[in-house]
Amino acid sequence: MTTLAIPGGPRRIVTRRSRRSRRRHRGLTNTVMVVLTYVAAVLATLPLLLILFHLARAGVGALSLDFFTKMPEPVGEAGGGLANGIVGTLELIAIAAAVGLPVGIGAGLYVAEKKTTLLANSVRFLSDVLNGLPSIVMGIFAWQLLVRPIGHFSALAGGIALGAMMIPLVTRTTEEMIKVVPGSLREAALALGYSRWRASLAVVLRTALPGIVTGALVAVARIAGETAPLLFTAFGNQFWSTSPMQPIAALPLQIFTYAISPYDEWHALAWAGALVLILLVLLISIAARAATRARYGAAAD
Amino acid sequence: MQQLTDSGSLGPSGGAILSIPHADAHGGTHVRIPVAAPRAHATHAPEARSTPCLVAESLNAWFGEVHAVKDVSLALDEHRVTAIIGPSGCGKSTFLRCLNRMHETVPSARVTGNVTLDGHPVYGADADPTMVRRHVGMVFQRPTPFPTMSIRDNVAAGLAVLGRDRPSRRRTDEIVEDALGRAGLWNEVKDRLQQSAVALSGGQQQRLCIARALATRPRVLLLDEPTASLDPASTQKVEELLYELRNSMTVGIVTHNMQQAARVSDRTAFMLQGELVEIAATSALFTTPRDPRTEGYITGRFG
C-alpha cells in the first residue's frame, strides 16, 4: 500500500485529474475575490473623487482673490467674497481646539493611566456614545448651556459646541496612543526619581505626542465642516465680526444659506465656499499624515 | 533620625538629600570626577567586612495573593557588588524592586518588613518614594532610553526633575560627560550627543541607561538582569563597568547567569521560591555552598 496514511486524512488518494480541476477552481475563486476587493477599493474612494471633481468644476469659477478678501455683497451686486466666513470658521476652530484638546487629552491621559477605575470605564464608554451623537444634539446642548443664559448667539457658543464634539474623539485617540508607549519607559522614569505625574507628562505623554497631534488634527478636520451644531449657536453673520461674544459667520453656514437661496451668484459662491472648506480639511489631514510620519520616523529602530 | 523626605534642600549628589554619612567623602558635588574612595581599594578580598548600606529585614512581597518574596533579610554592603541568583520566578527581581520602592508601582503589589538606607527607613511613614529612588538607582533588563530625548537629555533626565537643585546647563553638560565616561560610552557618543538615543545599539542603550542612573549620583545602584538582552561583547563591557563601579557606590545585581555573578560580585545570595537560601562571599558560595539546594543549583541540577 502506498497510500499516504495521514490520520484523519482522505482515505483515497486524490487522482491527478480531480486535483487539476480543483486547482483550477481555486484559481478562479481567487481571481474573483481579488477583482471584488479591487472594485470595493475603487468604490470607497469614488465619492471623494467625484465630490472633488464636481466642486472644482463648479467652484473654481467663483474663486478669486476677492473671494478671500471681500465681504459678501447683497443680492444682485456682482462680486463679493466670503472673507468673514473664512475668518469665522478659523476662529470657531480655534475656540473648539482650545476647549476640546486640553479636556480630551487630559481625559485620555486619565483613562490610559487609571485603566480600570469606575470613572475611567465610564469615560471610555460615554466617549464612544458621544462619538456617535448626532451633531445637532451637540448644538442644542450648547444652545441650552450658553446661548440661553447669555441671551444671544455667539461665536463662543459655536466654538464650544464644536469643542464638545472633539472631546470624545481626542480622548479615545489619546488613550490609544498612550497605550502603545511601553510601560517600561514609565518605570524607568519612576526609577529615576520622577513623580507619577511627572513621569506621565514628561515621558509617557511626550513619547505619545506625535500620535496625539495626529489624533487632534483628525478631530479638527472632522469638526471644521460641521454645520448643524452652529445653526443655533454661532448662527452666522452677514457682517464682519471677530468678537467671540457676537454671532459669527462660518463657511458651512454660509454655504448652507447660499445653496438654498434662489440666486445664481450665490450658488456659485456656495460651490466656491465648499471647495475652500474641503481644501482646508484636506490640508489638515495632510498635516496629520505628516505628523504621523514624524512619529514613525522617530520610532524606527 | 532624619527621614527620607523631600525637605527642599535635597540634591542629586549622594549626600545632599539625606545628610547620609560618607556622602561627602565621594561626591559632594555633581561635577567632581569620581575617585575611588580610599577604602575601596582593599575591597575585593571577600573576607574584608564592610558596612551595610542598604539593609532589608524580614521583607515580604506579594502580587495580589502570590507571595513572591518570603521573609528575606539581606544587606547590600557599602562599596561591594552583591549578586542575587536563582531560577526564574524565585522572587529575586521582586526583592530588588522592593529595595527602591519600585515594587509598589505595580497594581495589587504589597510589601511588609523593613528596609533601611544608611539607617534611614525606606518604608518609613515620612519617606517619599521618589526620594528613595533618587538615592537607589535602577537599571532594567531591557534598555529603556527615552525615545523623544537626545542622548544628552537622556543622561540628564534624572537631573531635570530636581526642581530648585537642578544644575545649570553647563554643569549638566559636565555631569553628562562624567556619567557617560563612567559608563564607558563617552568616546562612542561624544560627537552625537544631540542625536536620538534610540539610534544606538542595544548594548550602547543599556550603558546609556546606566549612565542615566549614575548621573544623579545614587548611593546604591540596582541592576535587574542588565545584560540579559545584550550580546556577549556588550555584556563584557557592562561587567567591566560594574567592576569599576564598586569603587564609588554600592551595587546590587540580579542575574540568571552564575558565571556573571562569579565574575562581578563580592557576595552572592541564592534565592529559591521566594526565600533566601544562602548568602556568602562569592568565592565561598560557588566553591563550598553550605546548603544542598545551593549546591544543586550551581552544579546545574535544576534551574
What are the pLDDT digits (tens) for B78-90?
999 999 999 988 9
Residue listed under C-alpha cell 518604608: B123
Cα distance between residue B277 and residue A183, in whole Å? 32
Confidence of residue A261 (pLDDT cuts 50, 70, 90): confident
Q: Which residue has the higher pLDDT, B165 or B288?
A: B288
In chain A, domain spans: 84-299
Confidence of residue B12 (pLDDT cuts 50, 70, 90): very low
Instruction: Please give the share of chain B, as a percent, with pLDDT higher than 70.
Output: 83
Cα distance between residue B59 and residue B286, in whole Å? 25
Taking an 8 Å cut-off on Cβ atoms, the answer to whether B158 and A193 are in contact is yes
Nearest by CB: A184 against B140, B148, B199: B140
Going by C-alpha positions, the residue among B131, B193, B136, B137 that lies closest to residue B163 is: B131
For an interface test with A, the pick among B13, B18, B105 (most A C-beta atoms closer than 10 Å) comes out as: B105
Cα distance between residue B180 and residue B186, in whole Å? 5
Residues of B in contact with A195 (CB under 8 A): 130, 161
Residue B30 has pLDDT above 50, yes or no: no
pLDDT of residue B48: 54
Residue B274 has pLDDT above 80, yes or no: yes
Confidence of residue B23 (pLDDT cuts 50, 70, 90): very low
Residues of B in contact with A206 (CB under 8 A): 146, 148
- B75 by DSSP, 3-state: which? strand
Residue environment code for A173-199, b if the CB has 16+ CB neighbours within 10 A, otherwise e: bbbebbeebeeebbbbbbbbbbbeebb
Residues of A in contact with B131 (CB under 8 A): 193
Residues of A with CB under 8 A from a CB of B: 182, 184-185, 187-195, 198, 202-203, 206-207, 209, 298-301
Contact (Cβ atoms closer than 8 angstroms) between residue B113 and residue B74: no
Taking an 8 Å cut-off on Cβ atoms, the answer to whether B105 and A190 are in contact is yes
pLDDT of residue A241: 79
pLDDT of residue A8: 56
Residue A132 has pLDDT above 60, yes or no: yes
Lowest mean pLDDT among B19-28, B107-116, B213-222: B19-28
Instruction: Please give the share of chain B, as a percent, with pLDDT higher than 90.
Output: 55
Confidence of residue A15 (pLDDT cuts 50, 70, 90): low
Residue A280 has pLDDT above 60, yes or no: yes
DSSP-derived letter for residue B191 is: G
pLDDT of residue B7: 42
Confidence of residue B256 (pLDDT cuts 50, 70, 90): confident
Residue B24 has pLDDT above 60, yes or no: no
Residue A228 has pLDDT above 90, yes or no: no
The pLDDT of A133-141, averaged and rounded, is: 88
pLDDT of residue A254: 87
Pairs across A and B, CB distance < 8 A: 67
pLDDT of residue B25: 37
pLDDT of residue A294: 64
Which residue is closest to B199 within chain A, CA to CA?
A301
Nearest by CB: B216 against A188, A193, A298: A193
pLDDT of residue B161: 86
For an interface test with B, the pick among A117, A192, A195, A213 (most B C-beta atoms closer than 10 Å) comes out as: A192
Lowest mean pLDDT among A66-75, A165-174, B61-70, B285-294: A66-75
Lowest mean pLDDT among A59-68, A196-205, B191-200, B211-220: A59-68
Confidence of residue A16 (pLDDT cuts 50, 70, 90): low
In chain B, domain spans: 23-37+49-298
Taking an 8 Å cut-off on Cβ atoms, the answer to whether A185 and B146 are in contact is yes
The CATH architecture annotation of domain A84-299 reads Orthogonal Bundle (1.10)
- For chain B, the average pLDDT equals 82
pLDDT of residue B68: 92
Instruction: Please give the share of chain A, as a percent, with pLDDT higher than 90.
Output: 29
Taking an 8 Å cut-off on Cβ atoms, the answer to whether B102 and A187 are in contact is yes
Sequence-distant (≥ 6) Cβ neighbours of residue A56 within 8 angstroms: A275
β partners of residue B117: B54, B120
pTM given for the model: 0.73
Cα distance between residue A212 and residue A208, in whole Å? 6
pLDDT of residue B8: 38
Q: CA B121 → CA B19, B79, B118, distances in Å?
A: 14, 20, 8
- Cell numbers linked to A44: 470607497
Sequence-distant (≥ 6) Cβ neighbours of residue B170 within 8 angstroms: none
Cα distance between residue B163 and residue B11, in whole Å? 9
Q: CA B219 → CA A175, A198, B73, B117, distances in Å?
A: 37, 23, 20, 9
User: Of A225-239, A252-266, B61-75, where does the model show the most confidence?
Assistant: B61-75
Confidence of residue A139 (pLDDT cuts 50, 70, 90): confident
CATH fold group of domain B23-37+49-298: Rossmann fold (3.40.50)
Residue B46 has pLDDT above 50, yes or no: no
Residue A32 has pLDDT above 90, yes or no: yes
Residues of B with CB under 8 A from a CB of A: 100, 102, 105, 130-131, 133-134, 137-138, 140, 142, 144, 146-148, 157-158, 160-161, 196, 198-199, 209, 212-213, 216
Confidence of residue A10 (pLDDT cuts 50, 70, 90): low
